[in-house]
Amino acid sequence: MELIELLSPAKNLEIGIAAIDCGADAVYIGANNFGARVQAGNSLEDIASLVSYAHLFNAKVYVTINTILFDNELKAAEDLIQKLYKIEVDAIIIQDYGILEMNLPPIHIHSSTQMHNISKERIKFLSDVGFKRVVLARELSIEQIIEIHSFVPDIELEFFVHGALCNGLSGQCYLSYELTKRSGNRGECSQACRSKYDLVNSQGKVLIKDKHLLSTKDFNASLHIPEMIEAGVRSFKIEGRLKDMDYVKNVTAHYSREIDKFISAENNKEKYCRSSLGKTEIGFEPDVERSFNRGFTSFNLQGKQDIIGNLDSAKSIGKYLGKVSDLNNSGRGKFYFQIDTKERISNGDGLCYINMEGNIEGFLVNGVEENPSQGLVMIYPNKKPDIRLLTKIYRNLDTQFTKQVLTDKTKRRIAIDIILKETSQGFSLQAIDEQSLSVQEDIIVEKQIALKVQGYEKNLLKQIDKLGDSIFYLRSFENKCSDNFFFASSLLNHHRRNLIEKLYELRQKAYKPIRKEFEKNDVPYPQKKLDFKANVVNEKAKQFFLNHKVEEIENGLEKQGERNSKSKDIVLMRTKNCIRYTLGQCLIRDKQTQDFNQELFLKDNKRTYKLHFDCKNCFMDLISLE
């Protein structure tokens, strides 16, 4: 059986546990240092607690050490990895090659998408070096994933399927560092791609003013799970280590359901299964449109078919409700507007729309009147929005849904079978879980025939099935006794509790992470010369590349300090989010208007950036001119 993993983000211990309860097969979390989300750090004690809970279900915990490291941080990073190994973390996710020159414990190593895992040659090198898994670049198409899997079949492929998209290639974006000295490769990205810019041509004409020209929609690969599994992806990763509880629960439950749908198909039952144990029964209806989103895109999975960018806003737009069909603009009475929608709207909901200037504006709902027979809803906002007939209305704060998700008491449970048998000294209860782990509880008591036989089996089952708040649920019960014996309720309850405690303790001890020593080698790196984009900022990383036959190594920008004049034309960002494509001015597909048939530039308040269009590979480069 091939194992399929759903990998969810955990900002903290509580969210990590909730993700597992909602169907995650693994979670990834940051420690207090060296993670690519500096605001999402966690203590070793909390990570250890998460590991203990996850391993009950054979779920895994991965810890991010996915920033580049300076020389004075190497010792602390090595100490952290040793501690993570001791608390039985399953794997670490790294960016810095210098880590591979450390004295590492036998813990699995995953290559972060920050390592620019975009070509089959690079991934082949990572496999040969000793990585267990690579997190593929988000920019890859399904066709390219198939090619990589065929070329490097032995390495596990992990792929992001949902959440915010980095506008630039991961690990290759230097815009934030250029502007603020806050490096994305150090977990400090200032999210400059979410800011507003002007688009200007070589004649100085402003073509677009004050728009989010680099901001992308959010990724949603829900419809492509089957194709991705067949392409070779085995771990489906949800972005969001800064996301809150309701987001993680909702999105995890949604993708867990989608993966289960694929596995349960007749042709797949004997080929695929989930990588962890247990059953989750969600108490709400998952709907990713009801959680934070900037609008959705399937990005480059099918090649360049979708508009990736969202020029109007970098904020959440939420779920589309309907168009304005009527409004009271008379000035008499309270202002209201009416929309045609089947969605239930509540007081306190946040609604939004795109105004005449093309920007998102929002307001809260103060009152609602429904006309179910006509599917119309009259809304009284807390302020008068500048809307017109046919204005599209969205909901980016769904108060009732959020409350339902947060109060949902979903628990994950493991199936067990319980068998009641006679023994020479009385009876025994045996529990066997879905992993075939088994425990026995002896009941030493004098045997007595039950006087009341009507409903005997039903009442006995009812007593056995009282598993309460445990992590188990009763799949089957078999009474192998030769007669209807009497069991006092208190006696049976006592021994059933002991039985469940024994099984719980056995599960705590049963899981052991798979360990493998990292063995250094000298497999040649695919390139002989490395520029700043290799992100080498410490001596161990430099030594790694020298050991792997690299001849020239330039320091990463973060180590160079102030750039000199020779490096002013560097590519700060390389992106699939092509502005020409978004605006219908693609150099391959479209006929350009006069204003666009020339060089284009982006401008912010202080700087100008040249845009270069690599149409052969379908990328846009943002180039520094200073």
pLDDT of residue 568: 66
Domains and CATH numbers, the chain: 2-165+216-290 (3.20.20.380), 315-407 (2.40.10.230), 416-510 (no CATH)
- pLDDT for the residue 605: 86
**pLDDT of amino acid 358:** 85
**pLDDT score, position 373:** 73
- Beta-carbon-side half-sphere exposure of residue 24 (alpha carbons within 13 Å): 29
Task: State both tokens at 243.
Answer: 């996301």
What span, in angstroms and rounded, lies between the C-alpha atoms of 97 and 534?
10
Both tokens assigned to 583: 């605006």
3-class DSSP assignment, residue 20 = helix
Three-state DSSP state, 216: strand
Helix axes 44-56, 13-21, angle to 10 degrees: 10
Q: What are phi and psi of 325, to 5 degrees?
A: -105, -15
Supply the pLDDT for residue 329: 78
Written as six digits, the tokens of 140 are 């890859």
Chain centroid, CA 6 distance in Å: 9
Residue 359: the pLDDT is 87
How many Å apart are CA 88 and CA 86, to the nearest integer? 5
Separation of alpha carbons 28 and 24, rounded Å: 10
Structure tokens at 593: 């208007």
Quote the strand ranges of 398-444, DSSP E: 412-423, 426-433, 438-444
Nearest Cα to Cα of residue 510 among 109, 83, 52: 52
3-state secondary structure of 178: helix
Q: What are the structure tokens assigned to 403, written together?
A: 């409350």
State the number of CA atoms in the 13 A half-sphere of 223 facing the CB.
8
95-125 burial, b at 16+ Cβ within 10 Å, e below that, comes to bbbbbbbbebbebbbbbbbbbbbbbeebbbb
3-state secondary structure of 340: strand
Residue 34: predicted pLDDT: 86
Give me the half-sphere count of Cα atoms (radius 13 Å) on the Cβ side of residue 330: 5
d(CA 202, CA 598): 6
Distance CA 283, CA 63 (A): 29
Given a cut of 70, the residues of the chain with pLDDT beneath it are 36, 38, 40, 331, 561-568
Angle subtended by helix axes 245-263 and 399-407, to nearest 10:
80
With tokens 């007669």, the residue in question is 483
Nearest to 36 by CA among 209, 189, 161, 246: 189
Phi/psi at 235 (5° precision): -130, 125
Integer-rounded Cα radius of gyration of the chain: 29
In the prediction, which pLDDT does 306 show?
82
Q: Which residues of 243-277 are buried (b: 16+ CB within 10 A; e: fewer)?
A: bebbbbbbbbbbbbbbbeebbeeeebeeebebbbb
- HSE of 334, CA atoms in CB hemisphere, 13 A: 13
Q: CB within 8 A of 610, min separation 6: which ones?
A: 599, 601, 622, 623, 625
CA distance 353 to 358: 9
Residue 464 phi, psi dihedral angles, 5° rounding: -65, -35
pLDDT at 565: 44
Tokens of 224: 């492509």
3-state helix/strand/coil string of 467-526: CCCCCEEEEEEEECCCCCECCCHHHHHHHHHHHHHHHHHHHHHHCCCCCCCCCCCCCCCC
- Of 313, 248, 276, the C-alpha closest to 90 is 276
